[in-house]
Amino acid sequence: MGRETKETEENRKTRHKMVVVGPHVSIITLNVNGLNSPIKRHRVAGWIKEQDPTICCLQETHLSPKDKHRLRVKGWRTILQANNEQKKAGVAILISDKVDFKAKQIKKDKEGQYIMIKGTLHQEDITLINIYAPNTGAPKFVKQLLIELKEDINNNTIIVGDLNTPLTPMDRTSRQKINKEIIELNEKLDQMDLIDIYRTLHPKTAGYTFFSSVHGIFSVIDHFLGNNASLNKVKRVEIISNIFSDHNSMKLEIKYKNKAGKEGKNVETKQHATEQKMDH
């Protein structure tokens, strides 16, 4: 009996150690198709609370720079945005109050097509790039952006968003061949050692993020791209259906080593003030 008790105690300690060593980090992405309606904003905020991600990336917020205060979600005080004066495009990154995140650098464009944030999450470096590619010439746009941000992209980079581009024939119900621009984008991804995380882990899954009523085709045009070397950090990637947008969302779960230990809330509060300054 004594031996069993000892083993149980050791198992419990091991389980506790695992929880401390590998904090759960999840990133969700969704093209929200406009957030100017208060009802829509309320529904999206409710959905984010329900999903409870570490980081939430949104595209097509359609907010102007002066409307940025409209995007508020309780529990995600750090909200970084790139918005367009004409209320087109628009991207946002929301970071949960539950994590120890420190922002070091932010890059964004005035068109609201992308935002990049560099920082540390649980004291590990992370670079996150949230993209909304335009409907026309999307593969070319993404390729050019990757070239521009090449110096910022490394092993710890996650590129996320609505790229408006199916990267493989599997990404469309029509199974048609991919065009020259998409081939060139894939070649650029290969050169930079970037992979499509969902398609790498689900090579034969017919799951889709968007339905084009014009063409009658389901496709995967929302993606998580990451460095090939960091694939071992990925725990899971999945498509999640929702009812308030014309896109489905995607969720990525990654494992991080926790060097942070038990750092107090005051660290997060101080950091929040810093991030707000950087955003302005």
Question: Three-class SS string for the chain?
Answer: CHHHHHHHHHHHHHHHHHHHHCCEEEEEEEECCCCCCHHHHHHHHHHHHHHCCCEEEEECCCCCHHHHHHCCCCCCCEEEEECCCCCCCCEEEEECCCCCEEEEEEEECCCCCEEEEEEEECCEEEEEEEEECCCCCHHHHHHHHHHHCHHHCCCCEEEEEECCCCCCHHHECCCCCCCHHHHHHHHHHHHCCEEEHHHHHCCCCCCCCEEECCCCEEECCEEEEEEHHHHHHEEEEEEECCCCCCECEEEEEEECCCCCCCCCHHHHHHHHHHHHHHHC
256 catalytic residue (yes or no): no
247 catalytic residue (yes or no): yes
Question: Annotated binding site, which residues?
Answer: 31, 60, 162, 164, 246-247
User: Could you say which of 62, 222, 247, 256 is catalytic?
Assistant: 247
Question: Annotated binding site for Mg(2+), which residues?
Answer: 31, 60, 162, 164, 246-247
152 catalytic residue (yes or no): no
User: Could you say which of 100, 114, 122, 132 is catalytic?
Assistant: 132
User: Could you say which of 100, 122, 162, 198 is catalytic?
Assistant: 162
List the catalytic residues: 132, 162, 247
